[in-house]
Structure 1
């Protein structure tokens, strides 16, 4: 896997999407993980001036879904998220958060990912599980 090329491809997919709006950027990829970052700014606040759980969910689903896509032939398969659960453990007011997706299960038709949302100092902000289904393209 060419890391730089893979990151470029993933980041190009973000154009004109929610990911671009939230400024989500893929920053690292390996054999068993994908990492993206998202700045914590007014764009992703909830009314109390802290990171919105929905923005965190968008980051989690983004890295988990893209991670699944790296493990299938996207010419013949499509990935769709079918369940996302998140526990928010700590609030965040500024800086950046990172979503790191690692596989729990990579089957033929379903993938299960653990996504850790951490800050710049590796403090755990949220812990997530995402289940994706792998479908044949029509």
Structure 2
């Protein structure tokens, strides 16, 4: 999926973790991530991997929203609650906005397993800043 200028995924953490963006608009961002390769030593989905998925989705939505103001988005806060363990398959993250402003955005990200059971709930806040020269 082409997410616009500066949003290429090749060589990014998203591609390294196998995250695939399925839908992207400021109002809703959806992506999947494999559990395999993103686990902790006990073979369970790593909580940090869930945070990467959540921050990625919130950042993508924030960047798409920020573009309307000629700005870029940078993450300033994330928190996550891990509800249940996952050992295999894919997880799906869905980000929806809590607040879309001219200087900040906040998204709730719900991550579920293949049985549609909630794995993690996260909230990410981004600051919208002027785009650096040459970006």
- TM value normalised by structure 2: 0.89
Distance in structure 2 (CA, Å) of the matches to 1:109 and 1:75:
9
- What do you get for the CA RMSD once the two structures are aligned? 1.7
- 2:45 equivalent to 1:51: yes
Unaligned runs of 5+ in 1: 1-6
Deviation >6 Å, runs of 4+: none
Aligned pair count reads: 130
- 2:33 equivalent to 1:34: no
Change (3 A) 1:111 1:28: same
- TM value normalised by structure 1: 0.88
Larger % of helix: which?
A: 1
Distance in structure 2 (CA, Å) of the matches to 1:57 and 1:30:
20
Q: Displacement of 1:30 after TM fit?
A: 4.9
Alignment of 1:1-138 (within 5 A): 7-9=1-3, 13-30=8-25, 32-41=27-36, 43-73=37-67, 76-138=70-132
Unaligned runs of 5+ in 2: none
Does 114-123 or 23-32 show the bigger shift?
23-32
